Structure 1
Amino acid sequence: MRVVKRYSWLWVGLLLFLTASIAMLLLTSNQRPSFTTATWIWNAKLISSQTEEIVSFAKDNQINLIYLHIEPTRVSPQAYRAFIKKANEANIKVEALGGDPNWAYTANRQSIGDLVSWVKAYNQMAKVDEQFSGIHVDIEPYLLPDWKKDQEKVVNQWLKNVDYLITETKKDSKLQVSADLPFWIDTVTVPGDSEKVSNWMLQRLDSITLMAYRNHAMGHNGIVDIVEKTVAAANSAKKASVIVGVNILESSEGSNVSFHEEGTHEMKQQLVILQEELAENPAFAGSAIHDYESWKHATQREEQL
């Protein structure tokens, strides 16, 4: 009887150990949601004829978020509905994409209002699984000639328009609001203040996508090096998440700003390193690859070799 009792206690101890281990695993998995892998689709007409191809490509590459350009005069609401439904079936969220450098000017605020109004009206008419989950803007005011002439004036108007975008979107809506920002945005200050524009954005937007266009994760001027300050600021702000964007589009800006030459395998390897390096940061949400068509063409090119 003593032997039986001793082994019974061993089994009880083992059971308790296994229960605690499983609980810890579940707790750990619940603490850290899966990372985002996003991409941009600028040519929205593709969804009218290539829905299956796009969704298949997304599934093959673990894409779970698409920034889809809004083109009301070229793409019908029916095409958007069909595409988003198919994407949602594959657990891919779709955000409405819009933007132009001139959207930084308050004189062009109506363009922002038009985007917000269109998305809201669309979502009201669409079924739940056909709706956009957010609005994503790519404004890039530093491309304007006025950026060099009077940066403070441009920044001031840009921030007012972002405030307008957020306010209008959040009225009677649960839509997320996010924006593309250059990795160096932490060097620009809010006019009349010492606050960095990066911090200003982090306090207001739901998410930012840092365009960290480099072709290596580690080392000086690598992806981690150029984003870590903003990621750290986002950790402190505890407001917005940070997605880190890389480029596979062929670029004339230099050999180190795109994975076009290195290819998709190297890009994915570097993104794994990026994720490992930033995984402990609560604000780090994942990566984005610019853009879908360039990524697809690179993949097809490699398959032919």
Structure 2
Amino acid sequence: MLTAVAVVAVMVVGGPAPARAASPGRAMWLWNRADPATVITWAKDHDVREIFTFVEPNIGASGDLPRLKDLKKRADRDGIALSALGGEPGWVFDIASARAWQRSALGTKLFARSHVDVEPYALNAWSTDQPGTVAAYLQLLDALQADDARPLEADVPFWYHTIPAETATLADSVLTRVDAVTVMSYRDTATGPNSIMDVGSDMLLRGGAAGIPVRLAAETASLPDCPYCTFFEEGQQRLANTLDDVDVAAADYPAFTGIAVHHYGSWSTLRDSP
């Protein structure tokens, strides 16, 4: 039996520790033709609830449809959503190809949404005619959104708020055209200067104001020119701990809907410890 002093001590010193915020789960990019059974086992073990699954143009002729159907069957069984992943910088000035890809991918009826990774800043035109390139990119998003009723999600860099567009910034203009964004907040710390939260907070705030869900993201591939942009050197446990810390730090932002990890190929082979 606890004495009165012990009871007071428990009450004052703390009692049970505050519960850690529940994780909203993870998402991940899947760019390669990995074995469906292996992918889904990995996803289940790492609380992955959505897989951005690369779909080749003209999927019917690619020979990859049977694998994708197998992936879908296994994902459905374990409550994991699949999104059709695609994107080329050239789509900015070739909307017809982008629309053809989306129609082909979503026409399989395997995917809950489109997830596009189109990086207009990779084009030479970004340097020679940034306003024209920005306008063309926004027209691309308009076209993809208009072509299908299913949600459209876009990968975006964290610095789009520095680029003028229309009456505000490119970040704001993208948020008016998509149903969700994933921010490439590629850093290897959770909080503090130059961290995932530091670079991702601007889009979290803008997404909250616009009523658009915002996912943050972490990188696991080797990036020799930017080691602080990836967990390649830190390993699996540091990644897991850091993403848990981001879940806690980002929970105060209404727009926050979780963290995506780039990408299955490098994440699944990331070493266990430094």
TM-score (ref. length: structure 2): 0.87
2:72 pairs, out of 76, 84, 89, with 84
Contact 2:50 2:82 in 1 (8 A): yes
- The structural deviation recorded for 1:34 is 5.9
Structure-2 separation of matches of 1:40 and 1:261: 20
Residue of 142, 161, 167 corresponding to 2:146: 167
Q: CA deviation at 1:117?
A: 1.3
Q: Partner of 1:167: helix, strand, or coil?
A: helix
Q: For the residues of structure 1 that align with 2:169 and 2:91, how far apart are their CA atoms?
A: 20
When the two structures are aligned, how many residues end up with a matched partner? Answer: 251
Q: Structure 1 CA distance, aligned partners of 2:23 and 2:229?
A: 27
Determine helix, strand or coil for the equivalent of 2:229. Answer: coil
The match for 1:118 among 95, 104, 111 is 104
Structure 2: distance between partners of 1:262 and 1:76: 34
Cα distance in structure 2, aligned partners of 1:252 and 1:74: 33
Alpha-carbon contact 2:84-2:106 (below 8 Å) kept: no
Aligned position for 2:129:
150
Counterpart residue number, 1:186: 161
Say which of 19, 37, 40 aligns to 1:52.
37
CA contact (8 A) 2:118 2:155 kept: yes
Residues 69 and 96 in structure 1, CA contact (< 8 A), matched pair in contact too: yes
User: How far did 1:116 drift?
Assistant: 1.8
Gaps of 5+ in 1: 1-31, 124-130
The residue type equivalent to 1:264 in the other structure is Q
Question: Cα distance 1:280–1:274, how it changes in 2: closer, same or farther (>3 A)?
Answer: same
**Aligned pairs (5 A) from 1:148-297:** 148-170=127-149, 175-190=150-165, 193-238=166-211, 240-297=212-269
Rounded Cα–Cα distance in structure 2 between residues aligned with 1:42 and 1:76: 13
Taking the aligned partners of 1:154 and 1:252, their CA distance within structure 2 comes to 29
Greater mean deviation of Cα atoms: 65-74 or 240-249: 65-74
Helix, strand or coil at the partner of 2:265: helix
Does the CA-based 8 Å contact 2:218-2:259 persist in structure 1? yes
In 2, Cα distance between the equivalents of 1:120 and 1:188?
31
Read off the aligned partner of 2:272 and give its amino acid letter.
E
Higher mean C-alpha deviation, range 175-184 or range 114-123: 114-123
- The reply to whether residue 102 of structure 1 matches residue 100 of structure 2 is no
C-alpha contact 1:36 1:243 (8 A) present in aligned 2 = no
Deviation at 1:276, TM superposition (A): 0.6
From 32, 36, 40, the counterpart of 2:29: 40
TM superposition shift of 1:147:
0.9
Q: CA deviation at 1:222?
A: 1.0
Query: Equivalents in 2 of 1:262, 1:33: separation in Å?
Result: 24
AA in 2 matched with 1:241: P
- Which protein, 1 or 2, shows the higher relative CO under an 8 Å CA cutoff with sep ≥ 6? 2
The reply on whether 1:135 has 2:110 as its aligned counterpart is no
**How far off is 1:155 after superposition?**
0.5
Percent identity over the alignment is 28
TM superposition shift of 1:33: 9.1
Report the residue type matching 1:119 in the other structure: A
Unaligned ranges ≥5, structure 2: 1-20
Instruction: Name which one, 1 or 2, has greater alpha-carbon Rg.
Output: 1
Deviations 1:186-227 (A, max 9, x none): 11121xx33111112222211100001111111111111111
Report which of the two has the higher share of helix.
1
